[in-house]
């Protein structure tokens, strides 16, 4: 599929930064937009820590991807 990316846990932070950069959005702006849309108050540092430590929830990933106009699709491995 066009514009389809496989997220890998080893470099998830870099992948999210890449997807944001493709749309001209900084990580700070991305977090601001998540905070506004989902009525949150998390800081960019908090997001960075969660991505670095791989301690964020799937719901947080879904919110980030929603802002970037992507969706999570589960597909059985072939």
What's the burial of 17, exposed, middle or buried (CB within 10 Å: 0-12/13-18/19+)? middle
pLDDT band at 76 (very low <50, low <70, confident <90, very high): very high
Give the domain extent around 23: 9-67
The pLDDT of residue 1 is above 60: no
Q: What's this model's pTM, rounded to 2 decimal places?
A: 0.87
Decide: 27 and 65 in contact? Cβ < 8 Å. no
Query: Is 42 inside a domain boundary?
Result: yes
- Domains: count for the chain: 1
Report the pLDDT value the prediction gives residue 10, as an integer from 0 to 100: 83
Query: Is 78 inside a domain boundary?
Result: no
Q: What is the pLDDT of residues 44-66, one digit of tens each?
A: 899 888 888 888 899 999 999 99
Longest dimension (CA), the chain: 40
pLDDT band at 6 (very low <50, low <70, confident <90, very high): confident
Query: Is 3 inside a domain boundary?
Result: no
């Amino acid at each position: 599929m066009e514009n389809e990316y496989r997220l890998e846990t080893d470099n998830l932070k870099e992948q999210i930064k890449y997807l944001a950069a493709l749309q001209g959005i900084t990580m700070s702006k991305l977090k601001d937009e998540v905070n506004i849309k989902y009525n949150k108050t998390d800081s960019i540092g908090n997001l960075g820590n969660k991505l670095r430590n791989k301690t964020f929830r799937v719901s947080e990933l879904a919110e980030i991807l929603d802002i970037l106009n992507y969706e999570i699709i589960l597909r059985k491995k072939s």
